[in-house]
Structure 1
Amino acid sequence: MTGLIQVLGVVFGGLLIVVGVAESFFIRDQRLERLFVADPDDVETVRLRTLNLGIYNVIWGIGAIVGAVMLGGADSDEGRTLLLFTCVAHVILGTDLLLSERRLWGSALAEAGPPLIITILLLV
C-alpha cells in the first residue's frame, strides 16, 4: 500500500508543479484561458496574483513529493505527516475553489480528488 501512496503522492505533487508553472509563467497563453478564467484584457491585472499562486502550488507540489519519498524511507512518520498535511490542505482548497467559482469545477475536482484518495489511503 505504501508504494501506491508514494506513486499517487508523486503524481499529485507533479500535477501541482505543472499547474504552478502554468499559473506563474503562462498566464498570457490564451490556450490556458479556461484554466485561469481570466479575460485576456484582465491578464495584466491578475498577473501578480497568479504568479504568487503558482509559486505556492510549486512549493505544495515539492512538499507532496518529498513527503511521498520520505514515506518509503527511515523517516516514514515524517513523510506521512508531510504528505497528509499537503493532501488535507488541497482537499480544503479544492472545496473552497468549487464553492467560490462553480465554473472551475474541473479544476476543483483535480485539486481535491487525488489528495482525498491519498488522504483516505494514509488514514486506513
Structure 2
Amino acid sequence: MNLLSQIAAGVTVGGLAFAFVLEVFFHRDPRTYSFTLIRPEDVPAVRLWVIFIGLYNLCFAAGIAAGLALLNAGAVGAGRALVLFGCGSHVFLAVLFPFVERRLWRNALMEGVPPLIAVLGYLLWE
C-alpha cells in the first residue's frame, strides 16, 4: 500500500480516535453540541447510543491501525484488507451522514475525505 494511502489511513485513525473521545467522555459538554447535536436536556435519553457510537469508532480506529501495523510488518495482504475495509466502511458511512441529518455535512466531510483518499490512493496508484 502506497505512502499516500497509509498517511490518509493514519489520519482516519486519528479522526476516529478523536470522535471516540468526544462521544464517550464529552457528550455532556455543551461545547460539543455542534459536533454531536446533543442538547444538554437530551443527554440522558441518548447517552447509551452516543457512547456505543464512540466505541464503534474506537474499534474501527484500532482495526485500521492494526492493518497499518501489519502492512509495515510484512503481512501485506492482511494489513491491506483491514485498512481497506475500515476506510471503505467510513467512506460509505460518510456518504449516508447527510441523508440522516443534513446539519452533519461537516462531520461527513471529516469522516469521509481521509478514508476516501486512502482508498482512491490505493486503487489509482497501487
**TM-score of the alignment, normalized to the shorter chain, above 0.5:** yes
| 1:2–1:72 Cα contact (<8 Å) kept | no
CA-CA distance at 1:96 after TM superposition = 1.1
1:36-55 alignment to 2 at 5 Å?
36-55=36-55
Q: Secondary structure at the match of 1:72?
A: helix
Contact between 1:21 and 1:55, CA under 8 Å: does it hold in 2?
A: no
Aligned positions, number? 124
Instruction: Name the TM-score, length of structure 1 as normaliser.
Output: 0.93
Unaligned runs of 5+ in 2: none
CA distance in 1, matches of 2:4, 2:113: 16
Residue 117 (str. 1) matches residue 117 (str. 2): yes
What residue is the counterpart of 1:104 in the other structure?
A: 104
Asked if the contact 1:91–1:112 (Cα under 8 Å) also holds between the matched residues in 2, the reply is: yes
**Structure 2 CA distance, aligned partners of 1:66 and 1:60?**
10
Q: Which residue of 2 aligns with 1:61?
A: 61
Comparing both chains, which one has the higher relative contact order based on Cα–Cα distances under 8 Å and sequence gaps of 6 or more? 2
- For the 8 Å contact 2:11–2:114, the answer to whether it is kept is no
Residue 69 of structure 1, CA deviation: 2.3
Moved more, 6-15 or 44-53: 6-15
**How large is the RMSD of aligned CA atoms in angstroms?**
1.3
AA at the equivalent of 1:3: L
Which residue identity does 2:58 align to in structure 1?
V
Q: Does 1:83 align with 2:83?
A: yes
